[in-house]
């Protein structure tokens, strides 16, 4: 699996890159690819979201960019201190997007475990949770059985920024981060473990 690293990208720039890679995978000229990146403060609305899910667009003098996106899910926050993992994977051999979502969750669960955090799935929704608080959000899209979009993991984001939305449809904004849990991991350390696990976990077995 090819791994692409970006320090930070504006959300539209990231979507354009994903679209190009998906087209190349469909054309047979690109391998499965994982993009590891970060966005400036941004709210993104999935196909199940409503504009009313964004409560405010400015928090403590900082303005959030807002974008509608074709991924599944509702509204979520992206920003500094959060690692975004966009997975462009050919799942033609199984044609099951739910299995891909489960693999993204497993990737986060295994990575968190490496740093002593027990992440789990929760009946309240897709993603990864720790002690009833969401630490990783998943939202995916598929074109001709090539996936894109992916999962975001909270390392040390400004958790107040989640208060401007109804994240994933939950009004009590139950979110947490690795730093809030007392694990002062760096993004580089995380990326090393995610890259290690991704080649095994994210590729479907025919």
Active-site residue set: 168
Residue reference for tokens 């990737």 = 107
What whole-number distance in Å separates Cα of residue 147 and Cα of residue 197? 18
Tell me how far apart the 2 most distant CA atoms of the chain are, in Å: 50
Rounded CA separation 42/48 (Å): 17
Query: Rounded distance, CA 139 to CA 45, Å?
Result: 10
Tell me the C-alpha distance between 117 and 137, whole Å. Answer: 16
Spatial distance between the Cα atoms of 149 and 184, rounded to a whole number of angstroms: 26
Question: Taking a C-beta distance cutoff of 8 angstroms, is the pair 42, 11 a contact?
Answer: yes
Distances (CA, A) of 7 to 39, 154, 187: 9, 16, 10
Residue 21, number of CB atoms within 10 A of its CB? 21
In angstroms and rounded to an integer, the radius of gyration of the C-alpha atoms of the chain is 16
């Amino acid at each position: 699996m090819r791994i692409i690293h970006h320090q930070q990208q504006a959300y539209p720039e990231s979507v354009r890159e994903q679209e190009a890679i998906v087209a190349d995978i469909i054309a047979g000229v690109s391998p499965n690819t994982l993009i590891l990146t970060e966005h400036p403060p941004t709210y993104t609305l999935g196909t199940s979201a409503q504009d009313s899910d964004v409560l405010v667009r400015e928090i403590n003098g900082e303005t959030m960019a807002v974008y509608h996106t074709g991924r599944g899910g509702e509204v979520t926050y992206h920003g500094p201190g959060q690692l975004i993992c966009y997975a462009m994977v050919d799942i033609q051999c199984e044609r099951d997007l739910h299995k891909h979502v489960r693999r993204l969750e497993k990737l986060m669960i295994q990575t968190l475990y490496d740093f002593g955090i027990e992440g789990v799935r929760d009946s309240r929704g897709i993603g990864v949770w720790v002690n009833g608080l969401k630490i990783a959000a998943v939202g995916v899209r598929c074109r001709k059985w090539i996936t894109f979009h992916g999962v975001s993991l909270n390392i040390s984001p400004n958790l107040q920024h989640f208060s401007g939305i109804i994240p994933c449809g939950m009004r009590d904004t139950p979110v947490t981060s690795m730093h809030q849990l007392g694990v002062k991991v760096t993004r580089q350390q995380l990326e090393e473990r995610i890259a290690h696990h991704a080649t095994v976990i994210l590729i479907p077995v025919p």
